[in-house]
Amino acid sequence: MTDKNVINLKDRSGGSFNWRKYTKFGLFLIILIFIIVFIVTNVFIVKQGEYKVIRQFGEVVRIIDKPGLNYKVPFVQSVSSLPKYQLTYDVSQAEINTKDKKRILIDNYAIWRIEDPKKMISNARTLEGAESRMEEFIYSVVRSELGQLDYDEIINDEKSSRGSLNDRVTEKVNELLANGNYGVTVTDVRMKRTDLPAENEKSVFTRMISERESKAQEYLSMGDAEKNRVIAQTDREVKEILSKAWAEAELIRGEGEGEAAKIYNQSFSKDPQFFSMFRTLESYKKTINGETVLVLPSDSPYARMLMGYTE
């Protein structure tokens, strides 16, 4: 070893290797890596649409909800994330009884979000815990609300009050969540479908078919009754119209025949002999045809007319 503790070793090329220089460089590199790791592990980014929860020895000490760069105390604090946006939860299918004592299966879903992460963690611990409590409240409220409605009111679109029902369920579930300080809010609760239990479907379908057939027969009977009423009314009106028409026709015919007789009398009174001959000829039209055989006395009007006697 020479002065200043510098050791010079000859390499294959005949040069020397400076151990002190490279030792300082290695130490600097280790310190730099440590600083980078320290920064990476203790500095974090808060993204849009999320909460960052800072815990110290398991206790929540800070909630960060604004996007940006933040840090935590190394080795003491830990960071976890919670969603800030709206979440969808598919509520488990459940069986309830309606007001008219019918059993139905209901399937709901809920739209919800975290309003206060600290309260949520304190009382529900996790997202799964919050969803579990929310599901219990939804089932309880839906069972209570549907228990006040008949089956037909629930499944019939014309009679259904699902719109107002969803609003009522949402409002009451939020009241229960607020009372429990769970730090979450339900935006909407919707009923996806309502089904009958498998063991009840056949009997209910049979009853529904029977009811529909009965209703159809009732409509047919009402239609037949209405048809018969219309036909009877029409026949009566037709008879009234025909009777009135016949009466008017007879009146007109009588007036015409009277006028004709008056004209005939005026015309024939001017030449009685011609009138007598005319009446006789008219009677021939009605009594004589190609096969008629007449035996007439010589003084009958027919014989006198045929023989040319007009007096």
Both tokens of residue 198? 């498998």
pLDDT of 137: 94
Amino acid letter, residue 71? Y
pLDDT, average across residues 131-156: 86
Number of domains in the chain: 4
pLDDT of 82: 93
The three-point CA angle 248-249-252 to 5° equals 85
Q: To the nearest whole number, what is the mean pLDDT of the chain?
A: 81
Both tokens of residue 238? 């037709």
pTM, two decimals, is: 0.55
Higher pLDDT, 258 or 162: 258
**How far, in Å, CA of 197 to CA of 93, rounded?**
11
Higher pLDDT, 310 or 206: 206
Last residue of a domain, one of 36, 55, 82: 82
Higher pLDDT, 22 or 141: 141
Least confident of 71-75, 193-197, 256-260: 193-197
pLDDT band, very low/low/confident/very high, at 159 (cuts 50, 70, 90): low
pLDDT digits (tens, 9 = 90+) for 178-217: 999 999 999 999 888 777 766 666 766 777 788 888 889 9
Check if the beta carbon of residue 115 is closer than 8 Å to that of residue 51: no
User: Per residue in 206-224, is it b (16+ CB within 10 Å) or e — as a string?
Assistant: eeeeeeeeeeeeeeeeeee
pLDDT above 50: residue 4: no
- Residue 205 maps to a domain: no
pLDDT of 280: 72
Last residue of a domain, one of 32, 55, 82: 82
DSSP type of residue 188 = E
Check if the beta carbon of residue 142 is closer than 8 Å to that of residue 103: no
**How far, in Å, CA of 229 to CA of 235, rounded?**
10
Q: What percent of the chain is predicted at pLDDT more than 90? A: 28
pLDDT of 199: 63
Domain limits for position 291: 271-306
pLDDT of 30: 85
Same domain, 99 and 181: yes
Least confident of 49-63, 163-177, 180-194, 262-276: 262-276
Same domain, 154 and 224: no
Q: Is 74 helix (H, G, I), strand (E, B) or coil?
A: coil
Last residue of a domain, one of 47, 82, 117: 82
